[in-house]
């Protein structure tokens, strides 16, 4: 017991020294941050790491002291473990781990042969290792908790919903600038006569050779019906004109037309909806509700 008390007094001294060493740094941090209001994020992070380091040191010291006590007291613990009233109990089996008996983990090996064999193969009547059984019980509890949380209470997202949410978040994070083809703009279609007139002029000069003078479609698709290959909302049309369609003959007009000119052309294209020009090309793509300007 003298050894135990000595070790405990030593641990108390170490804890006291650690506290005294941390107190000046904490006081200095408090004096530094008090006049200026909230501490800067850098100083807060430094203080957090200091406290975590101190806690880790204390835990390490406690672990070393505990291991030292177990080594010093192992003969007394073994004599206690050998008592019949102690060894058969759960706490006794835990105590057995401290003195080197791993029965609590590996179980009891009886090596009793069963009364049957197959092709000369004999079977021993041994229990499953406790670590295996406890792990199996843990999987059952986990399965019940998982079923209750995700399927009964529906408090968490299933794999499909979680994947969709992560892909949506990735798309938002990936759309870093206006020149990113994955970023969809949020423009409204222009409706003034001046903008639509400018859009018509740009369309006649740049788009009519492929889409026809009135958008009826030639090499390119018909732009006056309700069918669209790449979306008929103004921002989808804007994206198609700006970045083009690789491998389909639709060139990218980014760098050739300004952002306003691209929006003017997109707005003019939508103004052609339902105009039904002569010689219109057959519909292509998916049907969408017509956009009226």
251-280: per-residue pLDDT in tens?
999 989 998 999 999 999 999 998 889 999
The runs of H, that is alpha helices, within the chain are 2-33, 41-72, 74-81, 84-87, 90-98, 103-106, 130-146, 159-174, 193-206, 208-211, 234-243, 259-271
User: Shortest CA distance to 264 belongs to which of 208, 210, 194?
Assistant: 194
Span 57-69, mean pLDDT?
90
Q: What is the CA radius of gyration of the chain?
A: 39
Cα distance between residue 253 and residue 258, in whole Å = 9
42-49: list long-range contacts, CB under 8 Å, 24+ apart: none
Is 65 a residue whose pLDDT tops 80?
yes
Span 42-47, mean pLDDT?
82
**Quick one: pLDDT band at residue 96, thresholds 50, 70, 90?**
confident
Q: For a pLDDT cut of 90, what percent of the chain falls above it?
A: 33
Residues near 156 by beta carbon (within 8 Å), at least 6 away in sequence: 149, 150
């Amino acid at each position: 017991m003298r050894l135990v008390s000595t070790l405990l007094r030593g641990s108390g001294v170490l804890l006291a020294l650690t506290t005294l060493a941390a107190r000046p740094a904490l006081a200095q941090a408090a004096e530094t941050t008090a006049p200026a209001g909230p501490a800067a994020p850098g100083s807060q992070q430094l203080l957090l790491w200091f406290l975590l380091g101190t806690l880790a040191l204390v835990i390490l010291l406690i672990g070393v002291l505990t291991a030292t006590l177990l080594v010093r007291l192992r003969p007394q613990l073994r004599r206690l473990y050998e008592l019949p009233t102690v060894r058969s109990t759960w706490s006794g089996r835990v105590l057995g781990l401290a003195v080197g008996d791993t029965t609590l983990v590996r179980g009891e090996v009886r090596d009793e042969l069963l009364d049957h064999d197959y092709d000369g193969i004999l079977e021993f009547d041994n229990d499953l290792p406790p670590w295996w059984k406890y792990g199996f019980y843990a999987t059952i509890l986990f399965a019940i908790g998982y079923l209750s949380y995700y399927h009964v209470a529906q408090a968490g997202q299933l794999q499909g919903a979680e994947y969709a949410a992560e892909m949506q978040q990735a798309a938002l994070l990936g759309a870093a600038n206006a020149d990113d083809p994955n970023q969809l703009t949020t423009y409204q279609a222009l409706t003034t006569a001046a903008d639509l007139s400018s859009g018509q002029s740009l369309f006649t000069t740049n788009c009519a050779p492929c889409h026809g003078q009135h958008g009826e479609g030639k090499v390119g698709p018909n732009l006056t019906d309700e069918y669209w290959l790449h979306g008929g909302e103004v921002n989808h049309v804007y994206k198609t004109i700006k970045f083009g369609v690789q491998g389909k003959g639709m060139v990218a007009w980014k760098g050739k037309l300004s952002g306003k000119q691209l929006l003017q052309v997109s707005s003019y294209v939508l103004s052609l909806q339902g105009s039904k020009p002569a010689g219109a090309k057959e519909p292509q793509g998916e049907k969408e509700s017509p956009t009226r300007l």
